[in-house]
């Protein structure tokens, strides 16, 4: 018999180990890219792509495209609720899977994302810029305000030169460890480049981890802290 209640379709979707791994990984609330999810599930990118397409079509996931990345996250609290309920059942009659815990503390704190600052400190900087009204987000678009322009000039950045380039000046970028936005775009890149230039921070090659010097961290906190 082929036909069955819709519940079967839904459950079968969760029932595949690869897809289940992806969904569990997304339970943290973070948005993950297709490649990350593929790694999480231990499958190749092609296979992951097929799975993700099915999960999307069935309304389990929502996406947000960002540059060449495609961020996936759970579509609704209801989906998360079902997964939670299933985990409850699984816990009842079997060993619970931990799968929590930070993978790498340093990575979460500060890292390079393409070419701009991400992680804890990236988010902090972004929030600070917004709350000081240096950045304004209107109609989904991020914009540098007049006072923001002055602030950036004070840091030694030539905004006019930056704005001339093709890529957007300001862009929000979703942070996988914080699941919140940080600043991308040519401005984000220029800002981080300036930090390196000022010797506030340096990036460990091949690890994406950003290390701040003591004095650099101090000045960063003074500028973007609390």
Applying CB under 7 A, which residues contact DNA? 1-2, 12, 16-18, 33-36, 41, 43-54, 67-70, 114-115, 167, 189
Closer residue to DNA (CB): 77 or 103: 103
Q: Whose Cβ is closer to a copy of itself: residue 81's or residue 165's?
A: 81
Min dist CB 19 to DNA, Å, is: 7
Q: Is 9 or 143 the residue whose CB approaches a copy of itself more closely?
A: 9
Q: How many CB atoms lie within 10 A of CB 201?
A: 20
Count of CB atoms within 10 A of residue 158's CB? 11
Candidates 180, 170, 61; CA nearest to 123 is 180
φ, ψ of residue 4 in degrees (nearest 5) = -155, 175
Partner touching 68 among DNA, a copy of itself, none, CB below 5 to 8 Å by kind: DNA
DSSP strand pairing (135-138 vs 69-74): unpaired
Residue 52 touches which member of a copy of itself, DNA, none, C-beta under 5-8 Å by kind:
DNA
Q: Using only the alpha carbons of the chain, give its radius of gyration.
A: 21
End-to-end Cα spacing for the chain: 62
| Binding-site partner at residue 156 among a copy of itself, DNA, none, CB < 5 to 8 Å by type | none
CB atoms within 10 A of CB 221: 13
Q: CB 97 → a copy of itself: shortest distance, Å?
A: 5
Q: Which residue ranges make up the site for a copy of itself (CB under 8 A)? A: 1-21, 23-24, 41-43, 58-59, 78-79, 81-83, 85-97, 99
Which residue's CB is nearer to DNA, number 75 or number 217?
75
Distance (Å, whole) CA 226 – CA 224 = 7
């Amino acid at each position: 018999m082929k036909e069955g209640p819709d519940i079967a379709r839904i459950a079968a979707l969760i029932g595949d180990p690869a897809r289940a791994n992806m969904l569990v990984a997304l339970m943290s609330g973070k948005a993950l890219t297709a490649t990350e999810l593929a790694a999480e599930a231990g499958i190749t990118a092609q296979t992951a792509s097929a799975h993700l397409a099915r999960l999307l079509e069935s309304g389990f996931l929502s996406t947000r495209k960002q540059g060449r990345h495609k961020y996936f996250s759970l579509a609704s609290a209801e989906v998360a609720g079902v997964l939670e309920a299933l985990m409850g059942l699984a816990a009842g009659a079997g060993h619970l899977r931990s799968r929590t815990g930070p993978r790498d503390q340093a990575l979460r704190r500060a890292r390079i994302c393409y070419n701009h600052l991400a992680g804890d400190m990236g988010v902090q900087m972004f929030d600070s810029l917004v709350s000081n009204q240096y950045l304004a987000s209107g109609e989904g678009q991020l914009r540098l305000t007049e006072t923001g322009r002055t602030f950036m000039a004070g840091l030694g950045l030539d905004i006019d030169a930056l704005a001339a380039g093709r890529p957007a000046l300001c862009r929000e970028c979703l942070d996988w460890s914080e699941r919140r936005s940080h600043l991308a775009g040519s401005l984000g890149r220029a800002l981080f480049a300036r930090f390196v230039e000022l010797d506030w921070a340096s990036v460990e090659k091949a690890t994406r981890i950003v290390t701040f010097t003591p004095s650099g961290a101090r000045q960063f906190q003074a500028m973007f802290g609390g």
